[in-house]
Amino acid sequence: MSKARCRELMEIGDKLFSDRSGLMALWQDIADNFYPERADFTSQRALGEEFGTHLMSSQPVLARRTLGDQFGAMLRPRQKTWAQLGVQDERIEEDTAAQAWLENSSERLRKAMYEREANFVRATNEGDHDFATFGNAVIEARMRYDLSGFLYRCFHIRDVAWCENSEGSIDHVDRRDKQTAKMLCKTFGDKVPKNVRDCLKKEPYREFDVRYITLPSEDYELTDGKPYNRKRFKFVHVCLLKEDETILEETPRKRLGFIIPRWKTLPGSQYGLSPATMTALPDARLMQQMTTALLEAGEKAVTPSMIATQEAVRSDIDLSAGGVTWVDAAYDEKLGEVLRPISQALEGMRYGLEMVQDVRDQISQAFFLNRINLPEIGPDMTAFEVQERVKEHVRAVLPLFEPMETEYNGQICEESFELGLENGLFGSPDDIPDILSGQEVRFNFESPLQATAERAKLEAFKEAAQLVAMAVQIDPSSVNELNTKKAFREALAGAQVPADWLNDPEFVEQLDAHQAQQAKAQKALAVAGAGAGITEQLGKGLGAMSKGMPQPA
């Protein structure tokens, strides 16, 4: 039964891999031009083989490298908590205990993800460049075998195939791998067939083909027949040894276990594509041809081709520095020069260099390198001009950052949070505030897109303040139209004022109430006071009240 089930699963996976054979050729072409380190989709690279020997210009590779590095630097800044836990219930904003738990859990999650053993930085760095180049990335998030923390691994998309369900979500993942006999025995123990265990003595590093398959639990029956809650465990993870058609492991899962972000998808395909490389691919090919032509032209300009008089030259023509070419002494120079360079028109090189620069600019635009930085804001600009520039910048970078926030960072944070919740990262479930029970967790991300949107609030506040100042001159009651405290607080956030610089809203309310009470008492004392003792009474009253003024926590 198990061998038949094993063959059935491998046939399904083989079909998934064979259906994308044409896509593999495209990925190979893209990698050859933009990511030569990954250019082993249709060919196998030997250890020590040099990358990029076929390239004449590194500009396409540099553009891809810049964009891939920017993803991590801008969307996952190491120095701060770039993903904040939150819920959609607005009551949470008034519950300090719930806010404290969410903030504390966000910091715990960040620390667990960035542990050295978790491999998060390495996995996401590889995933960022796959995402920028091919529009797909495959990252596995799971607990380490000793359950001491998270483990993240990025896999070559060449070795992973997947398919979608009717709702467009990935629910079937098949990964091919090669593992040594030593690794298999250490991981699966006695479940490994005898012929593999026998290799430990003589061939411990002999490799075997292994398949890791995750599929919906409703499509799979465990070979041992044990029942399990399919509503709770929506997936089953199966490990197969191809050579012996042996099932090494069957594990029910609550989640898929893979983060597979896709930059841009097309109807009818479960695989994504990169708008950057698909747009720049023709330019990258053209760049290599133009650079080759310019190099050849430059070489001819430095060492031009020569015309030699037949039988007058008695040695090889030496065009090196200080070289000597021997000429027949009996040759009469009146008949013409023995050696003379071929006249060439080199004016075209200038136009060639201009064309290369134009192609460079096209590649930079294809990789959004001209849109990543925030717009320049001059001191002479009006608030309206600044706001319009900010809006234009948001529209320009939206195709770049929006898929990263939802498809990439969102998936990896949600998967990590669920793993941490199941394994006690956030403490006892009894410590979770009641108001958070049953709430759906969402993440708020720090990104240039969000920073730009927050910055727009600052400019809007400046413009609103100017309008209110103008209106007050006509009607003093116009100031009541603006909720100044709320607008000012959001403007401070837009200016990226650190949160610990601001007082707690509850303390601000207490302080406002105290100041209002103090002003009222001062007015009462001023009205009721008369004679020579009024100043003394007023001072004593204000001094007594100042002792009760609330202090910030």
* 70 occurs within a structural domain: no
In which region does residue 430 sit, left (phi positive, over 0), alpha (psi from -120 to 50) or beta (all else)? alpha
Instruction: State residue 433 phi and psi, 5-degree precision.
Output: -55, 145
Asked if 460 and 417 sit in the same domain, the reply is: yes
Name the band, by pLDDT with cuts 50, 70 and 90, for residue 463: confident
Task: Give the CA dihedral 16, 20, 25, 26, nearest 10 degrees.
Answer: -130
Query: Which is more confidently placed, 381 or 194?
Result: 194
Question: Two tokens at 24?
Answer: 């593999």
* 377 occurs within a structural domain: no
Name the band, by pLDDT with cuts 50, 70 and 90, for residue 174: very high
pLDDT at 531 over 80: no
Could you say which of 275, 300, 334 is where a domain stops?
Answer: 275
* 479 occurs within a structural domain: yes
Which residues constitute the domain of residue 400? 383-501
Query: Which is more confidently placed, 316 or 176?
Result: 176
* 415 occurs within a structural domain: yes
| Mean pLDDT for the stretch of residues 264-288 | 93
pLDDT in tens, 176-229: 999 999 999 998 988 899 999 999 888 999 999 999 999 999 988 887 777 778
Which runs of E-coded beta strand occur in 309-392?
Answer: 339-341
Asked if 513 and 459 sit in the same domain, the reply is: no
% of the chain beyond a pLDDT of 90: 38
- Give the per-residue pLDDT at 487: 76
pTM of the predicted protein model: 0.77
pLDDT at 364 over 90: yes
Asked if 421 and 531 sit in the same domain, the reply is: no
* Contact criterion met (CB below 8 Å) for 172 and 216: yes
Asked if 415 and 517 sit in the same domain, the reply is: no
Structurally, the chain folds into a number of domains equal to: 3
Return d(Cα 474, Cα 459) in angstroms, integer: 24
Asked if 201 and 119 sit in the same domain, the reply is: yes
* 233 occurs within a structural domain: yes
Asked if 530 and 458 sit in the same domain, the reply is: no
Asked if 388 and 520 sit in the same domain, the reply is: no
SS3 66: helix
Asked if 448 and 510 sit in the same domain, the reply is: no
Q: Over the chain, what is the mean pLDDT?
A: 83
Separation of first and last alpha carbons in the chain: 67
